């Protein structure tokens, strides 16, 4: 009788150079039982590197994974000497290997100011249950460069628990909407683009494929009608799916890696809706100033650094930046906490503020007190030693003064409300443009508490995504969706 083998979740079959999609398919179908002889044949290499191929008529050893001419006992006992250490080359046969996780390197670097202990930017502070792509560490220097390789990208539990057999799966396949079927084709194109990038040998032809891949990722973020079962059906959160962008030997452009990580985070959390205002309750005013975030829909913005954000991440309204933990104030330009400094600011221009935006170098005006006398009395009651220079300074402005002293980074978000002459202004909505350090400030009007702050962009970051190219945010799909949103007002 023919025996069969089942490949359990988390186990890796012997690698034989098979395409990742084929290995995923074998894992998928092996739950119904695949003959042992077929499995052996597929995963058995013809011969090992640095070994001669077998001559005609020569019998190959039956033991898979053993070197030619060696018994399994000899292989298990063989040691590889390296200096003063010796490591076993074979290991114990049949020993269960630990479940594999994906060590991801997106080559996307961020700057983190760390002249004092930085608060943890993961977990509840970033508000995301998915693994944060970058974890802060301590350093004595102004900035450090970290890569997304610090994170392990695993499949979420909801994804692992989806069964691709049974009545519920069969019913889902039969009852799928046409938009879901079309989305499957788009997801397959993402996989195909990744494979084409890996197989393309000519450096001159790769940029075109990169652009196609980035376009498909942007489309998936805004337009595709996906659900958990569709992601499972297309293996998008398997090693051969979107994670392959981070594990591949191909040096994918940083903007592809960044936007793929943003998409990965959405899917990891089970966010499949393409509604730009998800989690936002509509108010009655025409300008959306009365909108609110629904219960349990807000993520904390009280952390230094960029946390779960990616450079160029975009939102249609300022309230959406609050929802996702990029900024902490629905209307204010400065967000921070006492003794912690400012976490983020929004560049929006406006009358009465003498701001100057040169991209990597910004002069930003603090909040002007509407009642300087009352502000001065309140500040003197809280701190009699505050001094005359800062007596009329508002609380929000004081947060930026604290950031100047701490040297901790401040997130900068640019608004479409900036002057149209500003080349860094997003076409629509709000865009995260990286981390800046408050390097100085000057008093403009002490009686009103008016102060201008000089912020410089922290080194080690990728460029601001304002130029009219494929990397620009908002993308053409985001702009289109934004205008549709406005038409529905």
DSSP-assigned states of every residue in 206-262 = HHHHHHHHHHHHHHHHHT----HHHHHHTTTTSTTTTTHHHHSSS---HHHHHHHHH
Q: Is residue 109 part of a domain?
A: yes
Average pLDDT score over residue span 11-32: 54
The answer on 308 and 240 residing in a single domain is no
The answer on 435 and 382 residing in a single domain is yes
The answer on 48 and 20 residing in a single domain is yes
Q: Is residue 83 part of a domain?
A: no
The answer on 336 and 393 residing in a single domain is yes
pLDDT-derived band at 413 (thresholds 50, 70, 90) equals very high
Q: What does the pLDDT read at residue 37?
A: 54
pLDDT tens track for 421-465: 999 999 999 999 999 999 999 988 887 888 999 999 999 999 999
Q: Is residue 96 part of a domain?
A: no
Query: Residue 297: pLDDT above 80?
Result: no
The answer on 148 and 49 residing in a single domain is no
Query: Residue 344: pLDDT above 90?
Result: yes
Q: Is residue 281 part of a domain?
A: no
Q: Is residue 378 part of a domain?
A: yes
Q: What does the pLDDT read at residue 166?
A: 94
Q: What does the pLDDT read at residue 168?
A: 93
The answer on 243 and 294 residing in a single domain is no
pLDDT-derived band at 198 (thresholds 50, 70, 90) equals very high
**Tokens found for residue 116:** 């004092």
The answer on 303 and 438 residing in a single domain is yes
Q: What does the pLDDT read at residue 135?
A: 33
The answer on 233 and 143 residing in a single domain is yes
Percent of the chain with pLDDT over 70: 66
Q: Is residue 476 part of a domain?
A: yes
- Asked if the bond preceding 47 is cis, omega within 30° of 0, the reply is no
Domain count, the chain: 3
Domain boundary among 206, 239, 268: 268
Query: Residue 146: pLDDT above 80?
Result: no
- The span from the CA of 103 to the CA of 167, in Å, is 36
Domain boundary among 202, 237, 268: 268
- Separation in Å, CA 365 to CA 358, 395, 411, 434: 14, 14, 16, 19
Q: What does the pLDDT read at residue 20?
A: 64
Cα-flanking dihedrals φ and ψ of residue 455, to 5°? -115, 135
Q: Provide the 8-state DSSP code for 99.
A: P
pLDDT-derived band at 259 (thresholds 50, 70, 90) equals very high
The answer on 414 and 319 residing in a single domain is yes
- The span from the CA of 97 to the CA of 39, in Å, is 19
More confident residue, 301 or 372: 301
The answer on 294 and 263 residing in a single domain is no
Domain boundary among 268, 303, 321: 268
Q: Is residue 145 part of a domain?
A: yes
Q: Is residue 274 part of a domain?
A: no
Average pLDDT score over residue span 345-365: 91
Q: Whole-model pTM? A: 0.71
Q: Provide the 8-state DSSP code for 17.
A: S
The answer on 360 and 260 residing in a single domain is no
Q: What does the pLDDT read at residue 441?
A: 96
The answer on 248 and 302 residing in a single domain is no
Query: Residue 307: pLDDT above 50?
Result: yes
Average pLDDT score over residue span 345-360: 89
**Domain that residue 155 falls in:** 102-268
């Amino acid at each position: 009788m023919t025996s069969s083998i089942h490949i359990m979740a988390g186990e890796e079959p012997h690698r034989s150079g098979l395409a990742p999609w084929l290995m995923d398919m074998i894992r998928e179908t092996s739950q119904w039982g695949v003959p042992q002889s077929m499995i052996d044949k597929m995963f058995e290499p013809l011969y090992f590197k640095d070994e001669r191929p077998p001559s005609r008529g020569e019998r190959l050893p039956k033991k898979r994974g053993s070197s030619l001419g060696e018994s399994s006992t000899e292989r298990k006992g063989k040691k590889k000497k390296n200096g003063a250490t010796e490591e076993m080359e074979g290991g114990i046969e049949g020993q269960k290997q630990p479940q594999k996780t994906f060590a991801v390197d997106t080559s996307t670097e961020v700057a983190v100011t760390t002249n004092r202990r930085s608060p943890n930017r993961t977990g509840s502070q970033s508000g995301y249950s998915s693994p944060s792509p970058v974890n802060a560490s301590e350093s004595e220097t102004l900035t450090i460069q970290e890569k997304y390789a610090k994170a392990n990208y695993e499949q979420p539990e909801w994804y692992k628990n989806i069964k691709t057999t049974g009545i519920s799966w069969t019913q889902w396949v039969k009852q799928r909407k046409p938009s879901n079927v079309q989305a499957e084709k788009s997801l397959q194109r993402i996989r195909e683009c990744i494979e084409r990038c890996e197989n393309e040998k000519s450096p001159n032809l790769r940029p075109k494929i990169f652009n196609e891949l980035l376009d498909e990722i942007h489309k998936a973020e805004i337009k595709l009608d996906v659900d958990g079962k569709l992601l499972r059906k297309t293996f998008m959160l398997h090693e051969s799916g979107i994670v392959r962008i981070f594990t591949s030997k191909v040096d994918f452009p940083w903007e592809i890696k960044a936007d793929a990580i943003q998409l990965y985070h959405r899917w990891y959390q089970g966010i499949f809706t393409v509604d730009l205002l998800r989690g936002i309750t509509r108010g009655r005013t025409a300008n959306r100033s009365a909108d609110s975030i629904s219960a349990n829909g807000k993520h904390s913005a009280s952390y230094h650094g960029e946390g779960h954000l990616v450079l160029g991440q975009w939102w249609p309204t300022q309230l959406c930046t609050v929802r996702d933990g990029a900024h902490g104030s629905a209307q204010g330009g400065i967000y921070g906490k006492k003794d912690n400094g400012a976490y983020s600011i929004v560049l929006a221009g406006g009358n009465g503020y003498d701001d100057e935006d040169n991209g990597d170098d910004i002069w930003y005006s603090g909040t002007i007190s509407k009642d300087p006398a009352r502000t001065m009395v309140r500040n003197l009651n809280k701190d009699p030693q505050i001094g005359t220079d800062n007596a009329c300074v508002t609380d929000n402005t004081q947060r930026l003064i604290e950031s100047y002293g701490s040297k901790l980074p401040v997130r900068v978000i640019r608004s479409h409300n900036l002057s149209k002459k500003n080349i860094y202004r997003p076409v629509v909505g709000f865009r995260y443009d990286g981390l800046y350090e408050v390097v100085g400030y000057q008093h403009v009007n002490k009686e009103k508490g008016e102060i201008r702050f000089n912020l410089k962009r922290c080194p080690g970051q990728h460029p601001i995504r304002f130029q009219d190219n494929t990397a620009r945010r908002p993308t053409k799909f985001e702009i289109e969706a934004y205008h549709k949103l406005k038409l529905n007002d």
